[in-house]
Structure 1
């Protein structure tokens, strides 16, 4: 039996800037829609939910990010400013061809490095963590070999 990861879900207050950010990162908008109804509440445990969803797909088609904006019920907690050693979801890591170019493009969308530098792991990777719109934590990795 094979297990395939379908997507990573990220809850945001405003879909448009998050979509633009992930587009700049190279993901493609696969579709947008409204998720509501009894079936949705039975799945998530949030009965009466109404959620605007945008599905973003990586260029290779193997990974997706689901951006969700809850209309109902209201968002109850905010983990966006948690440090990288907080329990629970940490970040999504994306491999890029040119980390400096990617950072320059994401800068136009308000992205900020977490540690103010890109580090190099031996002669294998350049790595960094950054915060995108609404504080979304994302990692970037550039293979050097």
Structure 2
């Protein structure tokens, strides 16, 4: 008997494949995530999960300040990376970006600039709700940033 209640518990993590794990970790630490741990993932079991066969992957698990969301950064040692979507425009098919809520958008942009962050378009106000922008982080990774705004009717 199937239940009408969803079986989904949570979004566990989002994965991003990178060339430089150290640069990506430094960028996401500067953004405000915490490095939860680094590990090597390898062996037949891992290849059976991903469908890649024998693989060796160095991963770093990053966690948001509230502890509820994680970002898994992966650097494939084998098999070699077969495609590169890092510079795809925002209307490309497939996974494209991760959006983070920040307390102060301008301060966040200033803090990320030394780590290579580049504004994609402009910082824009969306209605009376958010200031938003897209940036390219290390290796061209597309990141969205959103600052909630509160406009008071005075």
Aligned residue for 1:31? 37
Matches within 5 A, 1:62-141: 62-115=68-121, 117-141=122-146
Structure 1 residue 68: Cα displacement = 0.2
Alignment-derived partner of residue 22 in structure 2: 16
Deviations along 1:3-58, one digit per CA (max 9) or x if unpaired, are 31000000000101100000011000000000001110000001110000000000
Counterpart for residue 4 of structure 2: none
Rounded Cα–Cα distance in structure 1 between residues aligned with 2:20 and 2:96: 20
Aligned pair count?
144
In the superposition, the TM-score normalised over structure 1's length comes to 0.98
Distance in 2 (alpha carbons) for counterparts of 1:113 and 1:63? 24
Partner of 1:6: helix, strand, or coil? coil
User: How far, CA to CA, are the matches of 1:9 and 1:143 in structure 2?
Assistant: 25
1:123 CA displacement: 1.5
Residues 65-92 of structure 1: CA deviation (Å, up to 9, x unaligned): 0000000000000000000000000100
SS at match of 1:101: helix
Secondary structure at 1:42 match in 2: helix
List structure 1 segments (4+ residues) > 4 angstroms apart after TM superposition.
none
In 1, Cα distance between equivalents of 2:29 and 2:109: 13
Give the TM-score of the pair, scaled to structure 2: 0.92
In structure 1, stretches of 5+ residues that fail to align are none
